[in-house]
Chains A and B, each alone.
Chain A
Amino acid sequence: MPRVFPATWFIYSLIMTALAFTIRSEIALMLPAIPNFILGLILSLRKKYYLFPIAFLLAVWALFLNAVLFVNYGEPVVVVGPLVIRSNALWATLIVTVRIMTITGAAMIFVSMINPRELIISLERQLGLPKGLAFALSLALRLIPLMTYDYHEILFIRRQRGYRTKLVIPTDVIGVLLPLVAVGIDRAYWIGIAAELRGFQLRKRRFNPKYTLWDLLVIAAAIAQTIVSLAIVFLH
């Protein structure tokens, strides 16, 4: 794959998501939804990122159930025993599914095409993200595995001490959050001191936007999809 900066994929996903929320016509939204979803699905499956496809299927199933329960009126379309599925339930499912397809498709493309570390560097350099925010994102990448470890340790100790590991009531949540936060704050305190002692306050904004032809093509693809979708909206 030619080199495209992660910030460009970020902008692409942002445009697609904005499109999904703003375009009211389902027909117009089909255009970005179908190719983005197919491309995203192929890339995700190649990288073995199954979370998004599974989440998508669950969301569509939940949407369908919701539609059948609350907006099941109009002409009967499918009759399965006592269950009659009517046109409006299917139409409502389709409308929201198309939006979710657009967003999920863009998200799948985004996570498949970038690595988080490069994204942060790219956001700082290509988009001029403030240094504090870029540092916070880097730190989050660093801390997530540590906090996952902490979480598992805490749950095991709870089990050992005869407490629930499923967080049912607020005291369960507090019992897990307290040590998690205590350990996290201590870590963040020292990492912050270490960062300052290594000149973080002197760090200059590293805004140096340089885009390749491939970046421009990706942005152009996003703009083209937006224009065509808007054109369909106006024609209808």
Chain B
Amino acid sequence: MLVDTKITRAQHRGSRFVLRDVFLSLGEGESVLVVGSSGCGKTTLLLAMTGVLNNLLEGEVEGYSRIGGVNLLEPEGFREVARLVGVVLQDPDKQIAMPTPYDEVSFVLENLGFNDIEERTNRILGMFGLAGKEFVSIEKLSGGEKRRLTIASAIVHDPPIILFDEPTASIDPWGVREVRKYFREHVSGLGRASIVVEHKAKYFLDLVDEVVLLEDGVIRARRRISEVDEAFLEYLEEHGVDVRSPILIREPRRDVGRTILETRGLTIGYNGQPIISGIDFEVREREVVVVIGANGSGKTTFLKTIAGSLKPVAGEIVFREKNPRIFYVPQNPDYMFIHTRVKRELDDLYKRSGRIFIEKIFSEAPWLKGLLDMSPHRLSHGQRRWLALTIARGYNPSIVLLDEPTTGLDLKLYRHVIEWIRKIVKEKRSVVIASHDPRVIADLADRVYLVENNRMREVSLEYGLKWLEEGFK
């Protein structure tokens, strides 16, 4: 057995969450998909089985985790972790430590004392489509390129097992397609074992040998892939795992009002350099407009230009209201918080929106009462996202601009966000969403704009959905 892990108990220091009785065993070339909703213990499992939790983070882990016969939970075994394991983390910007692709890939080789560093580094960068970009600043790489770089860095030293922690969380469908391609060619295709932690199971079901469902820190179910049937998929879905492609249900069109925002021949970009040209775009009252496009296509730049954070390169933005009330919610909710306590954030909203609004918030989210003295930055990812959206709502905007609001959310949290958006549309607001998540079109969109080849055009919901869904296949 290449991997033989038996963790009877694992816990972060000072945390109440406990991972219990998780047993995993993999032979050479085998792949396991670990699924479960946010907070079920997927990442804790990876940290525990690599020995990071007890050796680096002062957590407690009971049991053993042997890879290639080496118990990584012991300090001596943990010294071998880099030789035995390659790791791809959720967010490339939280993994890449070096300033250029060459340095990033050669980092692990230098650490492990390889002699053929230059040759290996150049070869792997070439294989992952990064030849010619060896010494380019990481900031100049696209999201997909950064993701490729993290996979290249994980396998360059030929470890027998690769661990993936939500590798599709921050990338568009084309990035997902690349991850799947490299997984097929360089992981399973070369006989490497792998453990993939994901809540978007649909991207990996056809690539793995076994599916394991984690819930509240314990394994609830496991199936060999040949035994996965419709009933099991439904079971996974009930437990917050995304297993299916979205289905567009044509509901009667919302009663939208007059146009409140319009752009005419708008060109957007940075420092006078256009990214998207000739944009004719409109938003009506009580309407949800979704702007789709690949990572780096200019969706965020578009929202920021509408919000007034960036100046248009050319063209005009016309608002129906004299003083348009627009609120932009960035992808990272942490940017939204100004105060040291949740309570102070709510006090701020109280001043702006009054008592009734605050009462409404508490009735929608009673759990908030127990977190009032906490820093907003210490809330869970889902809670931070919810609070950021609620702050935006408290400012009573007529148009809310949401940048990738569903990134990194499991099915349950995703449904909360969708519900939140429906609520604010009922409050007679309009919403513009920049996203590459096909579910957003299926569940929310009234109209869709597609950004492609530096142009933006309106497309049908069906076309937009198909465009995104085909992307990863």
Interface residues of A (CB under 8 A from B): 116-117, 135, 138-139, 141-142, 145-146, 150, 153-154, 156-158, 160-161, 163, 174-175, 178-179, 182-183, 186-187, 189-191, 193-204, 206
Most A C-beta atoms less than 10 A away, residue of B336, B338, B340? B338
Contact A193 B107, beta carbon cutoff 8 Å: no
Contact B111 A200, beta carbon cutoff 8 Å: yes
Smallest beta-carbon distance A161→chain B, Å: 6
Please give, as numbers and ranges, the residues of chain A lying within 8 Å of B234 by CB-CB distance: none
Stretch at the interface among B63-71, B88-96, B187-195, B271-279: B88-96
Which of B79, B103, B334 is close to A182, meaning CB atoms less than 8 Å apart?
B334
Is B337 at the interface (CB under 8 A from chain A)? yes
Once bound together, how far apart are the Cα atoms of A178 and B89, in whole Å? 25
For B, the interface residue count at a CB cutoff of 8 angstroms equals 52
Please give, as numbers and ranges, the residues of chain B lying within 8 Å of A138 by CB-CB distance: 97-99, 103
Contact B334 A139, beta carbon cutoff 8 Å: no
A-B contact count (CB 8 A): 124
Contact A194/B138 with A142-B96, A157-B330, A161-B338 known, Cβ cut-off 8 Å = no
Which of A117, A157, A195 is close to B336, meaning CB atoms less than 8 Å apart?
A157
13 residue pairs bridging A and B, Cβ less than 8 Å apart: A117-B135, A154-B335, A163-B338, A178-B338, A179-B338, A183-B334, A186-B334, A191-B94, A191-B97, A193-B57, A197-B82, A197-B87, A198-B111
Contact A142 B334, beta carbon cutoff 8 Å: no
Please give, as numbers and ranges, the residues of chain A lying within 8 Å of B47 by CB-CB distance: 193
Contact B93 A146, beta carbon cutoff 8 Å: yes
Contact B97 A117, beta carbon cutoff 8 Å: no
Contact A175 B335, beta carbon cutoff 8 Å: no
Which of B99, B111, B139 is close to A117, meaning CB atoms less than 8 Å apart?
B99
Contact A202 B328, beta carbon cutoff 8 Å: no
Please give, as numbers and ranges, the residues of chain B lying within 8 Å of A150 by CB-CB distance: 335
Is B307 at the interface (CB under 8 A from chain A)? yes
Once bound together, how far apart are the Cα atoms of A56 and B335, in whole Å? 36
Please give, as numbers and ranges, the residues of chain B lying within 8 Å of A117 by CB-CB distance: 99-100, 103, 135
CB-CB nearest 10 A-B residue pairs: A199-B82, A199-B111, A182-B377, A190-B94, A198-B108, A141-B99, A203-B111, A194-B95, A175-B338, A145-B139
Once bound together, how far apart are the Cα atoms of A199 and B50, in whole Å? 12
Is B137 at the interface (CB under 8 A from chain A)? yes
Contact A179 B334, beta carbon cutoff 8 Å: yes
Is B85 at the interface (CB under 8 A from chain A)? yes
